[in-house]
Protein backbone atom coordinates (compact mmCIF):
# COMPACT_ATOMS: atom_id res chain seq x y z
CA UNK A 1 0.00 0.00 0.00
CA UNK A 2 2.85 2.37 0.87
CA UNK A 3 4.45 1.79 -2.51
CA UNK A 4 1.17 2.53 -4.31
CA UNK A 5 0.75 5.78 -2.35
CA UNK A 6 4.36 6.76 -3.12
CA UNK A 7 3.89 6.08 -6.84
CA UNK A 8 0.62 8.07 -6.95
CA UNK A 9 2.23 11.03 -5.15
CA UNK A 10 4.95 11.17 -7.80
CA UNK A 11 2.58 10.78 -10.74
CA UNK A 12 -1.17 11.32 -10.24
CA UNK A 13 -1.93 9.88 -13.68
CA UNK A 14 -1.13 6.43 -12.27
CA UNK A 15 -4.42 6.59 -10.34
CA UNK A 16 -6.28 6.04 -13.61
CA UNK A 17 -6.90 2.40 -14.50
CA UNK A 18 -4.34 1.38 -17.10
CA UNK A 19 -1.71 -1.27 -17.80
CA UNK A 20 0.81 0.98 -16.03
CA UNK A 21 -1.28 2.23 -13.10
CA UNK A 22 0.04 2.41 -9.54
CA UNK A 23 -1.13 -1.12 -8.70
CA UNK A 24 0.61 -2.59 -11.74
CA UNK A 25 3.81 -0.69 -10.90
CA UNK A 26 3.73 -1.79 -7.26
CA UNK A 27 2.98 -5.47 -7.94
CA UNK A 28 5.02 -5.90 -11.10
CA UNK A 29 4.20 -7.26 -14.52
CA UNK A 30 0.79 -8.89 -14.94
CA UNK A 31 0.53 -12.56 -15.89
CA UNK A 32 -0.67 -12.88 -19.45
CA UNK A 33 -4.37 -13.36 -19.95
CA UNK A 34 -5.60 -11.84 -16.68
CA UNK A 35 -5.96 -8.56 -14.83
CA UNK A 36 -5.52 -8.28 -11.05
CA UNK A 37 -8.60 -7.17 -9.14
CA UNK A 38 -10.99 -7.62 -12.05
CA UNK A 39 -13.67 -10.18 -12.82
CA UNK A 40 -12.58 -13.72 -13.60
CA UNK A 41 -11.81 -14.16 -17.26
CA UNK A 42 -11.25 -10.47 -18.05
CA UNK A 43 -8.13 -10.05 -20.17
CA UNK A 44 -5.88 -6.99 -20.52
CA UNK A 45 -6.86 -6.57 -24.17
CA UNK A 46 -10.54 -6.41 -23.17
CA UNK A 47 -9.92 -3.88 -20.42
CA UNK A 48 -7.19 -1.69 -21.84
CA UNK A 49 -7.91 -1.70 -25.59
CA UNK A 50 -8.46 1.61 -27.34
CA UNK A 51 -12.00 2.97 -27.47
CA UNK A 52 -12.24 2.23 -31.19
CA UNK A 53 -11.76 -1.47 -30.43
CA UNK A 54 -14.30 -1.68 -27.58
CA UNK A 55 -17.16 -4.08 -28.22
CA UNK A 56 -20.41 -2.29 -28.90
CA UNK A 57 -23.39 -3.21 -26.73
CA UNK A 58 -26.41 -1.95 -28.65
CA UNK A 59 -28.69 -2.34 -25.62
CA UNK A 60 -26.47 -0.09 -23.52
CA UNK A 61 -26.26 2.47 -26.32
CA UNK A 62 -30.05 2.51 -26.71
CA UNK A 63 -30.52 2.83 -22.95
CA UNK A 64 -28.00 5.67 -22.80
CA UNK A 65 -29.75 7.43 -25.68
CA UNK A 66 -33.15 6.97 -23.99
CA UNK A 67 -31.79 8.38 -20.76
CA UNK A 68 -30.23 11.29 -22.64
CA UNK A 69 -33.56 12.07 -24.31
CA UNK A 70 -35.35 11.89 -20.95
CA UNK A 71 -32.80 14.19 -19.32
CA UNK A 72 -33.04 16.61 -22.24
CA UNK A 73 -36.84 16.65 -21.88
CA UNK A 74 -36.54 17.32 -18.14
CA UNK A 75 -34.08 20.15 -18.74
CA UNK A 76 -36.38 21.70 -21.33
CA UNK A 77 -39.38 21.39 -18.98
CA UNK A 78 -37.41 23.07 -16.20
CA UNK A 79 -36.35 25.84 -18.58
CA UNK A 80 -39.99 26.40 -19.54
CA UNK A 81 -41.03 26.50 -15.88
CA UNK A 82 -38.25 28.97 -15.14
CA UNK A 83 -39.28 31.13 -18.09
CA UNK A 84 -42.91 31.10 -16.88
CA UNK A 85 -41.81 32.17 -13.40
CA UNK A 86 -39.58 34.90 -14.85
CA UNK A 87 -42.48 36.14 -16.99
CA UNK A 88 -44.78 36.13 -13.95
CA UNK A 89 -42.23 38.12 -11.95
CA UNK A 90 -41.87 40.62 -14.80
CA UNK A 91 -45.67 40.99 -14.99
CA UNK A 92 -45.86 41.58 -11.23
CA UNK A 93 -43.10 44.19 -11.49
CA UNK A 94 -45.04 45.98 -14.23
CA UNK A 95 -48.21 45.92 -12.13
CA UNK A 96 -46.29 47.27 -9.13
CA UNK A 97 -44.78 50.03 -11.25
CA UNK A 98 -48.24 50.94 -12.54
CA UNK A 99 -49.59 51.14 -8.97
CA UNK A 100 -46.61 53.26 -7.92
CA UNK A 101 -47.19 55.54 -10.92
CA UNK A 102 -50.87 55.86 -9.94
CA UNK A 103 -49.88 56.80 -6.39
CA UNK A 104 -47.49 59.44 -7.67
CA UNK A 105 -50.17 60.78 -10.05
CA UNK A 106 -52.66 61.00 -7.14
CA UNK A 107 -50.12 62.91 -5.04
CA UNK A 108 -49.55 65.36 -7.89
CA UNK A 109 -53.32 65.83 -8.34
CA UNK A 110 -53.78 66.46 -4.59
CA UNK A 111 -50.93 68.94 -4.59
CA UNK A 112 -52.43 70.69 -7.60
CA UNK A 113 -55.86 70.84 -5.90
CA UNK A 114 -54.27 72.28 -2.73
CA UNK A 115 -52.47 74.87 -4.79
CA UNK A 116 -55.72 75.87 -6.58
CA UNK A 117 -57.67 76.01 -3.29
CA UNK A 118 -54.93 78.01 -1.64
CA UNK A 119 -54.95 80.44 -4.55
CA UNK A 120 -58.73 80.77 -4.45
CA UNK A 121 -58.78 81.34 -0.68
CA UNK A 122 -56.14 84.05 -0.95
CA UNK A 123 -58.16 85.91 -3.56
- The full DSSP string for 22-46 is HHHHHH-SPPTT--TTS-TT--HHH
Residue 96 CA to residue 86 CA, distance in Å, equals: 15
Burial class of residue 35 in the structure, from the number of CB atoms within 10 Å of its CB (0-12 exposed, 13-18 middle, 19+ buried): buried
Q: In the predicted model, is pLDDT for residue 15 greater than 80?
A: no
- Please state the separation of Cα 56 from the chain's center in Å: 28
Which three-class secondary structure state does DSSP give residue 50?
coil
CA distance 62 to 108: 68
Per-residue pLDDT of 66-98, as tens digits, reads 999 999 999 999 999 999 999 999 999 999 999
Question: Does residue 52 carry a pLDDT above 60?
Answer: no
Averaged pLDDT for residues 34-58:
61
Residues 84 and 41: their CA atoms lie apart, in Å, by 55
pTM above 0.85, yes or no: no
- pLDDT at site 79: 96
pLDDT at position 18: 66
How far is Cα 37 from Cα 77, in angstroms, rounded to an integer?
43
Amino acid sequence: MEKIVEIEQCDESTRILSENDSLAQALGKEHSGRVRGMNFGLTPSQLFCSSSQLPVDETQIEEAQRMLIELHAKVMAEKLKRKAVEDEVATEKLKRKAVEDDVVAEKIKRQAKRSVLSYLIQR
